[in-house]
A and B are shown apart, each in its own frame.
Chain A
Amino acid sequence: MGKTVLIVDDSNTMRKIVSRALRQAGIDFDEILEAGDGQEALAVLADNQVDVVLSDINMPNMNGLEFLKAKAEDPAIKDIPVVMISTETGADIINEAKSYGAKGAVKKPFTPELINATLGPLL
């Protein structure tokens, strides 16, 4: 059975690119949902069964780190795995994201193969 993924990025372009990369990676997704920031992502998670989240870090309203912290406080969604996709992949920020529950990080620019290698073990 296919999975449901949530892509969180304030750039509509990047959400389309990540969607395309997911399809090219050959991962079996039934549905791809989108959100423009962490606040929207929490709303989507409240209303949908999501199997994995791909989230940018730098976003307005609620950034990726704030989203991770808020998600960790909600028992209904805290165990949904989150992978960060961002230009920000310095060791300090990635360690901070992992301390808030992120399972990994993919640096932009990325290839479908890298997406597959990172997401595959989580699905």
Chain B
Amino acid sequence: MEYAKIIIESTREIFSSMIMLEVTSGDPFQRGHEKLNNSISGLVGLAGTIKGMLAIHLPDQTAITVTSAFLGMGVEEIDEDVRDAIGELANMVAGNIKSALDPKGSDIKLSMPSAVYGEEYSVDCLAHAQSITVPFELEGKTFLVELQIREEG
């Protein structure tokens, strides 16, 4: 299963259709346990025949840029609007990935989105899960879309 391709197509579609911004993807890699600094992460869990987590990690300034474009209005700091927007972004990317993996929609469930943010934090998910992260560039800034996934049965 080409998870990187699904991540790239899903993310590009959302940014171009909903946020009207073009993003460029970089080479997929496996992120380790390194900490995220001055960032915000939108998280959505996956359960069912495929278990795992979809996360989008953005530095604060990138999240502010994305949220301002998302809402069509200026945003100054990581506030409730930004947390909500980034959670919703993760929700849509996860939804697209789910549609690609489960067209009928009955084998995979998505959790409600969450947002984690701060000066320094770590995000990790399952042990023994396949992990793939795709970096994207937006107006000179980088963010990451990470999928940790384990197929059951």
A90, A91, A93 — most chain B CB neighbours (10 Å)? A90
Whether A87 contacts B17 by the Cβ 8 Å rule is no
A91 to B99, CA, bound (A): 10
Is the Cβ of B105 less than 8 Å from the Cβ of A93?
Answer: yes
- Given A13-B81, A13-B85, A109:B103 Cβ within 8 A: no
Task: Tell whether A91 pairs with B103 under 8 Å between CB atoms, given A17-B71, A109-B13.
Answer: yes
Q: Is B102 an interface residue (CB 8 A)?
A: yes
Which residues of B are found within 8 Å of A89, using beta-carbon distances? Answer: 99, 105
Minimum CB–CB distance from B33 to chain A (whole Å) comes to: 29
Asked, given contacts A12-B84, A13-B70, A58-B110, whether A110 binds B103 with beta carbons under 8 Å apart, the answer is no
When chains A and B are docked, how far (Å) is the Cα of A86 from the Cα of B94? 12
Enumerate B46-105 residues with CB–CB distance to A below 8 Å.
Answer: 67, 70-72, 80-81, 84-85, 87-88, 91-92, 94-96, 98-99, 102-105
Closest to A90 in B: B105
> Size of chain B's interface in residues, with CB distance under 8 A?
28
Q: Which residue of B lies closest to A112 (CB)?
A: B17
What total count of A-B pairs have CB within 8 Å? 70
Contact flag A16-B104 (CB < 8 Å), given A87-B91, A90-B99:
no
B contact face: mostly helix, strand, loop, or mixed: helix
A20 within 8 A of B: yes
Contact of A87 with B94 at beta-carbon distance under 8 Å, contacts A14-B88, A109-B13 already known: yes
Whole-angstrom CA separation of A93 from B91 in the bound complex: 17
Compute how far the CA of A93 lies from the CA of B81 in the bound complex, rounded to whole angstroms: 29
Interface residues on chain A, size class: 20 to 34
Min CB gap A36→B, angstroms: 11
Q: Which chain B residues have a beta carbon within 8 Å of chain A's beta carbons? A: 13-14, 17-18, 67, 70-72, 80-81, 84-85, 87-88, 91-92, 94-96, 98-99, 102-106, 110, 112
